[in-house]
Structure 1
Amino acid sequence: MSQKNTEAKRSARDRMQEERAAQEAKARRLRQFGIIGTVLAVLVVAVVVGVLVMNHKTSSYTAATDAPKGTAGANSLVIPVGADAAPSTLTVYEDPRCPACGEFEKEFHGTVNQLLSQGKLKIQYHVVSFIDRHDQGSGSKNAANALACAQNVGAFHNFHDVVYANQPDETDDAWADKNVLITLGKQVPALNNPAFASCVNGNTFGSWVTAVQTAFDKSGFSSTPTILLNGTSAYPTYNGEQISAANLVKWVDAANKGKTPAVLTPASAAALASPTAGNSKP
């Protein structure tokens, strides 16, 4: 590997860590503001209760009826990718507007897809949307709903790749315009249709998006990306080693030692196939 490529990868990891540190600092500030807000909230508790009652219908969530098809985990809040029998699990908490998540996807996209296709790894995605709350806007929620629309028809993995390949700057709430997401969907054959557009425009899985974020708020995690390998934090380090594409392969192979990789079904293999229209920014 050339020195230039090594420095580029190191720079990408540095940016991911800087972005995550910034998110954690922002989260600490918001928690401090939250203490002040709690005191003030006592003065307006009646108004708050009234708003909660009025919003109950839009925020309620029932997994059996409100979750996209194929979701998993408690209350169907997880989007699984890869073969169920894969011996290792990568748990990923991502916000579509999160720049550090974008850096992670760019650096590890090929490696993760290789491990998935080899049946060594499966992924459990938690699509969160807290950046809308921190930076104002609706792009995270709209993109999360669009990803749920894709999951509902078995096209999550492909659309996920397209979304992150076309991620705007965090401060640019480009996905507040749902038409941008619908246009991105046209790069995935299964989403190039009126049904996907209707799902995005109608915020069909809005209550599911809210439920995923609520679970994240209660999880103890406060920043994205949060990456776990078989339940152990793997970002930015895993057992004292810095994350890299080569190390991720090494870690998975070590965890899988003595275990048999999964054999992908035709459906699983098809779900991992790249969209024929490509997924790069225009």
Structure 2
Amino acid sequence: MPPRFVAVGVSEKNRGDGNRSARERLQQQREHDKAREKQRRVLIVSAAVVGVLGLAAVVGVIAANSGDGGGSDKAGPVVAPAGSVEGDKPAVPTGTTDAPSTLAIWEDFRCPACAQFENVMRDTIHELEASGALKAEYHLATLIDGNMGGSGSLRAANAAACAQDAGKFTAYHDTLYINQPPETDDAFGKNAKLIELAAKVPGLDTPAFRSCVEDGTHDSWVEKSNEAFRNGGFRGTPSVLLNGESIFPTKGNEQISPENLKKWVAEANKGKKLGTASPSAPAAPSAPAASSAG
């Protein structure tokens, strides 16, 4: 009989050890599942961005071949937003002006892949800008207008340029992408919608901003930027370059991600001084002088 009790005791001990082992395995599995789920979410977003980029590439070819960039019918003088980058590749700059690395982002406010990119990378870009490691240059395109019809790409880009005049480009840029309508819904083609969203940015909804939006003050500047996009040989939007090298959707064999962008910028900036010069406050753009006759 005693051996039977001993056997039972051993059996209970083994069962207890087994329960602890099972709990440990369950906890480890849960931690593993959490890590995999986090990675899966990043990969799903990245895959979605890459997938839409393939469509955007086709759209880009169509737009380039048709010669239709979705611009407005009215021709007018080019009125650049305050503090913008001029030349043959117009852009709105953000971050410290003397940052050692530059991120060039070619985007369309109606582009779903651009929203995917922004929603994944936004915080990292802002963090790198705040540290002085990176400055960004936003080149505004109207690719989706040319493909889907409508004017939301142009109207939103003009409104973003108007926000730049008010020194609130970044906040309004992010608001547009956070509130982006479906690609087939040309909600951004309505100035009233763009002004409504401006109310989400403190201090932006002013008579000057409304007038700039409703008058299409920067339409011709946006069209000039879109022309640069069409002539740039890009596959689609977004097109993202770090110091002139394409990094979207991949850089070499590495896929873009917040962690990889930080790593790539750190590698590019090795031994270089971080930027400290803040951009000067934008001044209201002056109207172009009328050309003299004769």
Give yes or no for contact 2:145–2:154 (8 Å, CA) kept in 1.
yes
After superposition, the Cα gap between the structure-2 partners of 1:265 and 1:176, relative to the gap in structure 1 and judged at 3 Å, is closer
The aligned runs of 1:56-95 (5 Å cut-off) are 58-62=74-78, 66-74=79-87, 77-95=90-108
Residue 22 in structure 1 maps to residue 38 in structure 2: no
Residue 170 in structure 1 maps to residue 183 in structure 2: yes
Give yes or no for contact 1:61–1:211 (8 Å, CA) kept in 2.
no
1:102 aligned to 115, 118, 122, which one? 115
Q: CA deviation at 1:190?
A: 2.9
Give yes or no for contact 2:96–2:132 (8 Å, CA) kept in 1.
yes
Normalised to the residue count of structure 1, the TM-score between the two structures is 0.81
Give yes or no for contact 2:63–2:143 (8 Å, CA) kept in 1.
no
SS in 2 for 1:90: strand
Residue 143 in structure 1 maps to residue 156 in structure 2: yes
Q: For the residues of structure 1 that align with 2:83 and 2:114, how far apart are their CA atoms?
A: 23
Q: For the residues of structure 1 that align with 2:137 and 2:279, how far apart are their CA atoms?
A: 20
Aligned alpha-carbon RMSD (Å): 2.2
Q: CA deviation at 1:132?
A: 0.5
1:192-227 superposed Cα distances (whole Å, 9 cap, x missing partner) = 212111111111111111111111111111300000
Unaligned ranges ≥5, structure 1 = 38-54, 269-282
Q: For the residues of structure 2 that align with 1:132 and 1:260, how far apart are their CA atoms?
A: 41
SS in 2 for 1:2: helix
After superposition, the Cα gap between the structure-2 partners of 1:94 and 1:30, relative to the gap in structure 1 and judged at 3 Å, is closer
Q: For the residues of structure 2 that align with 1:172 and 1:75, how far apart are their CA atoms?
A: 31
Q: For the residues of structure 1 that align with 2:136 and 2:61, how far apart are their CA atoms?
A: 29
Indicate the percent of aligned positions where both proteins have the same amino acid: 40
Q: For the residues of structure 1 that align with 2:96 and 2:223, how far apart are their CA atoms?
A: 27
Normalised to the residue count of structure 2, the TM-score between the two structures is 0.78
Pair member with larger Rg: 2
Q: For the residues of structure 2 that align with 1:30 and 1:224, how far apart are their CA atoms?
A: 12
Residue 11 in structure 1 maps to residue 24 in structure 2: no
- Count of aligned pairs: 245
Q: Where does structure 1 differ by over 4 angstroms across 4 or more consecutive aligned residues?
A: 29-32
Q: CA deviation at 1:170?
A: 0.6
